[in-house]
A and B are shown apart, each in its own frame.
Chain A
């Protein structure tokens, strides 16, 4: 391969772009550990003279951030598990059972998943008040289980549609019932796709903002993105505390990315082009 000096220029351009993409993360991290006095004197661009963790600690205590993390964890975890269970059941009926009208059912699920939440928000808000679920984690779990399962069904049905039939026929001859075949054969063999769905549902639900904003109005129930989004512009949010709050929003998201990186990069492409 010929190696001209041009290739360094190309690499330099891409590295500059990478620096621009990373810059917000870095500057948030730097200023989250800077004291307000130092920020006032030096501004946002200087490196902190000393590690000042009081801003993060104050913000954490003030908004009871641990509780927000727990809420997000409970909601996202429950949705991920429930939505995967439903997706598997649906995909079993549609992909392997090939029930009549399956194409229409799939279209219905897909449209349901794509509908803007704005077109469901007020009736859901109204209904949840009627049944006494307003401002509860349960309400958000129910709604997102339905929305995520709709997508999961669409994806998993396509995967199970290609499931090797011989295995199922062999199981039927051995006397395995339908549920046994699902639980003992289909689920273990589809494990990789199911894992991708679990992780995606978890992260998607974690990142949701609109419906949780409407449903979770009390401080005790708020998720991480809702708490941070609502606090923007509060009087006590000075420069360093704002960056501390941003950092607390970034850390879990980046942690998930690093933990699930391999599954995620595989999954992003599975989701887009099946």
Chain B
């Protein structure tokens, strides 16, 4: 048996070399750099856990993770909850009463923002939210500085991300609903169960696997978010929309504080790895 599988290693070789050079080695270098003070030129100076203890005292660091929680709400929780409802309504209400084509057209419309590069979505909204000439203020007759007001900026970015993200769960859930045995719904309907009861007791339990996957992949995406922050607010005003990825980017390339940036990136990576393992465990258990 071993002799038979041995020759297959050659097929893995190119990727393993590439993977080592592009992902494994840089990641380990990043972890190593996080224990040093380094401006990017010259020799890094070993400082042990200094960067990490400084992080724990750094208000911006804690704020950036709090903002991440907000973005998880906007990119994972709200789209999942809303997506479940929309998918169920499209699938077994609109689909049955107005035809599958109507449901498919609505689904495609909800999905459309997802096809944009997230930076382009940022450009679109940056323009629409402009305080003096933007369309949003014109429509509501307001004069708000949506992205420039520290009290509003995070909520505004969150709203943009809901718009951007919503279509993904809708598409996944509608595909998942096709697995659900229609006999379940028919039996419940004959027993007089209302649409809401069927939604709650049949639809939601039946598409649990999809719900897990969507929640976790979207959570990872929210933890990594960079493009919209860069384009819309650059972490500002002040630190009102600072997130870990942008914070590390600033430390690397603008503050020449590479060790500190590496520490932030390492913490972020650890959190994401934990979430990924959670994802693998759940997927394993479900299948």
Question: Could you tell me which A residues sit within 8 Å of B by CB distance?
Answer: 1, 3, 7, 10-11, 14-15, 17-18, 20-22, 24-25, 27-28, 31, 39, 43-45, 86, 89-90, 92-94, 96-100, 105, 107-112, 114-127, 142-143, 145-147, 149-150, 153, 178, 182, 203, 206-210, 213-214, 224-226, 228-229, 232-233, 239, 242-243, 245-246, 249-250, 253-254, 256-257, 261, 265, 268-269, 272-273
B245 to A, closest residue via Cβ: A118
Which residues between 206 and 256 of chain B lie within 8 Å of chain A, taking CB atoms? 209-210, 213-214, 217, 220, 223-224, 226-227, 230-231, 244-245, 248-249, 252-253
Known: A45-B138, A98-B5, A249-B117. A265 touches B128 (CB 8 A): no
Residues of chain B lying within 8 A (CB to CB) of residue A118: 224, 226, 244-245, 248-249, 264-265, 268-269
Residues of chain B lying within 8 A (CB to CB) of residue A229: 119-120, 122-123, 227, 230-231
B25 at interface, CB cutoff 8 A:
yes
Taking a contact as CB atoms closer than 8 A, the residue among A17, A146, A246 that contacts B19 in the complex is A146
Residues of chain A lying within 8 A (CB to CB) of residue B102: 11
Residues of chain B lying within 8 A (CB to CB) of residue A125: 252
Q: Name the segment of B6-14, B149-157, B197-205 touching the other chain.
A: B6-14
A233 to chain B, nearest CB (A): 8
CB of B26 within 8 A of CB of A116, answer no
- Main secondary structure, interface of B, reads helix
Q: Name the segment of B50-58, B73-81, B88-96, B180-188 touching the other chain.
A: B88-96
Which residues between 119 and 156 of chain B lie within 8 Å of chain A, taking CB atoms? 119-120, 122-128, 130, 133-135, 138-139
Interface size class of B (residues with CB under 8 A): 35 or more
B29 at interface, CB cutoff 8 A:
yes
B21 to chain A, nearest CB (A): 8
Residues of chain B lying within 8 A (CB to CB) of residue A265: 171, 175
* Additional A-B contact list (15), CB under 8 Å, known A93-B12, A229-B119: A21-B163, A24-B163, A25-B124, A43-B135, A108-B19, A115-B272, A119-B265, A121-B248, A124-B26, A207-B119, A229-B122, A246-B123, A272-B217, A273-B172, A273-B175
CB of B14 within 8 A of CB of A89, answer yes
Taking a contact as CB atoms closer than 8 A, the residue among B109, B125, B130, B265 that contacts A116 in the complex is B265
Known: A116-B224, A124-B26. A25 touches B112 (CB 8 A): yes
Task: Please report the C-alpha to C-alpha distance between residue A233 and residue B272 in the assembled complex, in whole angstroms.
Answer: 32
CB of A18 within 8 A of CB of B23, answer no
CB of A114 within 8 A of CB of B117, answer no
A241 to B, closest residue via Cβ: B127
- Main secondary structure, interface of A, reads helix
CB of B115 within 8 A of CB of A89, answer no
A143 to chain B, nearest CB (A): 5
Residues of chain A lying within 8 A (CB to CB) of residue B90: 14
Task: Please report the C-alpha to C-alpha distance between residue A173 and residue B266 in the assembled complex, in whole angstroms.
Answer: 51
B49 at interface, CB cutoff 8 A:
no
Known: A99-B8, A150-B23, A269-B172. A239 touches B120 (CB 8 A): no
Task: Please report the C-alpha to C-alpha distance between residue A39 and residue B253 in the assembled complex, in whole angstroms.
Answer: 38
Task: Please report the C-alpha to C-alpha distance between residue A93 and residue B176 in the assembled complex, in whole angstroms.
Answer: 31
Task: Please report the C-alpha to C-alpha distance between residue A3 and residue B138 in the assembled complex, in whole angstroms.
Answer: 39
Taking a contact as CB atoms closer than 8 A, the residue among B30, B115, B119, B213 that contacts A119 in the complex is B30
Known: A229-B122, A268-B171. A214 touches B23 (CB 8 A): no
Residues of chain A lying within 8 A (CB to CB) of residue B268: 116, 118-119
B22 at interface, CB cutoff 8 A:
yes
- Contact mask B1-43 → A, CB, 8 Å, 1/0? 0100101110110110011011111110110010000001000
Taking a contact as CB atoms closer than 8 A, the residue among A14, A99, A109, A213 that contacts B106 in the complex is A14
Taking a contact as CB atoms closer than 8 A, the residue among A86, A203, A214, A228 that contacts B123 in the complex is A228
Taking a contact as CB atoms closer than 8 A, the residue among B30, B130, B166 that contacts A120 in the complex is B30
CB of B9 within 8 A of CB of A93, answer yes
10 A/B residue pairs, CB under 8 Å, sorted by A = A86-B15, A93-B8, A114-B272, A116-B272, A122-B33, A123-B25, A209-B227, A210-B245, A229-B227, A265-B175
CB of B269 within 8 A of CB of A119, answer yes
Taking a contact as CB atoms closer than 8 A, the residue among B7, B116, B119 that contacts A226 in the complex is B119
A132 to chain B, nearest CB (A): 15
B119 to chain A, nearest CB (A): 4
B276 at interface, CB cutoff 8 A:
yes
Residues of chain B lying within 8 A (CB to CB) of residue A27: 128, 135
